[in-house]
Amino acid sequence: DRASKALAEASLLGEPRTYDARSKRSRVPLTTLYHRDHRQRSKEENAQGQQYLTPPEEKALKKYLKLMADLGNPVQIKCLPSLAVIIAR
């Protein structure tokens, strides 16, 4: 990702080795550089770690929901968590 590349790049001659200077040069937010340098996971990595269903399970759930909607019996949103638990077993 851009933040990791910005941290890996060498500083230009005469440029201070600060997060602010790297942020301005790479156009990556300063806080992102700081967090990446201190090993905090990105939002995408964090979301992948919290994903409840695998991609094939998600695909199956999506297919089921579409089928039910096409048959005129759409599944209520409040039922989705229980369906996910059943699929994940």
What pLDDT is stored for residue 32 in this prediction? 87
Residue 13 sits in which domain range?
2-48
Do 63 and 42 fall into the same domain? no
Half-sphere exposure for 81 (CA within 13 Å, toward CB): 1
Nearest CA-CA partner of 28 in 42, 15, 13: 42
What DSSP line would sit under 13-62, residue for residue? TT---SHHHHHHHHT--HHHHHHHHTTPPPHHHHHHHT--S-HHHHHHHH
Do 21 and 38 fall into the same domain? yes
What pLDDT is stored for residue 78 in this prediction? 95
Number of structural domains the chain divides into? 2
Do 35 and 59 fall into the same domain? no
Do 15 and 37 fall into the same domain? yes
Identify whether the C-beta of residue 1 lies closer than 8 Å to the C-beta of residue 29: no
- Which residues of the chain fall below pLDDT 70? none
Do 40 and 71 fall into the same domain? no
What pLDDT is stored for residue 6 in this prediction? 82
What pLDDT is stored for residue 52 in this prediction? 85
Do 44 and 75 fall into the same domain? no
What pLDDT is stored for residue 82 in this prediction? 92
Do 6 and 28 fall into the same domain? yes
